[in-house]
Amino acid sequence: MPVTPLHAALAVTRRPNEAPRRTLVDIASASEPVAVSVLESARPGFFYPRIIFGGGAQLDFLVPADPVISEGRVKAEKVSLTGYQETLSVRLEPRLTLGFKILHPTNLAQVRSWWIEWASLGRQSEIILDRFGTCAGQYEYDNFNTTFSRAHCLYNPFEPRHFVPSRGLFSVQFQFRQGQDETLVP
């Protein structure tokens, strides 16, 4: 089959001034987490959280999170000796669910080490919902960006799931509650 100019044009893999494309093997072997797509470059108005733990160690996420904040009333109920139901309302407790839809394997490895060495042991972390401070005016940012200073990761197993089966991208979800000051607990 003769090679036509159209075949020659289609055979060109990249333009002369374009950088060579990185494969997933190159990305997975890189020491620094890199953006896999344009969607992973930081954009204003999205929640890029930071978890601070263990005396100042930081875990920064390269992808935006989907924060879901719920507030539930913590209450104690018991039946008195006379048979009446007694309810004692203790406090309102904000809960935070951080969901990541696309997480790169190197960032996932950092999250796993944080989970194993810190969060699964019941230790508290500090969570900043938007480390860039570009989400002002949004409900979550205005009311809860600095609320989770003693975030306690509730029991949920470390279960990363493949986002796209053919690519090395994962999704993971964590749920936190505001813990007590550990210096005041006897």
Q: Per-residue pLDDT averaged across 72-87, rounded? A: 82
Does residue 7 have a pLDDT over 80? no
Tell me which amino acid residue 36 is. Answer: V
Does residue 18 have a pLDDT over 80? no
The Cα 144–Cα 129 span in angstroms is: 8
Q: For CA atoms 163, 41, 35, 115, give the dihedral sign.
A: negative
Q: Per-residue pLDDT averaged across 141-153, rounded? A: 87
pTM of the shown model: 0.65
Closest CA to 174 of 162, 184, 185, 160: 160
Q: Cβ contacts of residue 151 below 8 Å, gap of 6+?
A: 51, 96, 124, 125, 126, 127, 176, 177, 178, 179
Better pLDDT: 48 or 23: 48
- pLDDT at position 166 is 66
Bridge-partner residues for 19, per DSSP?
A: none
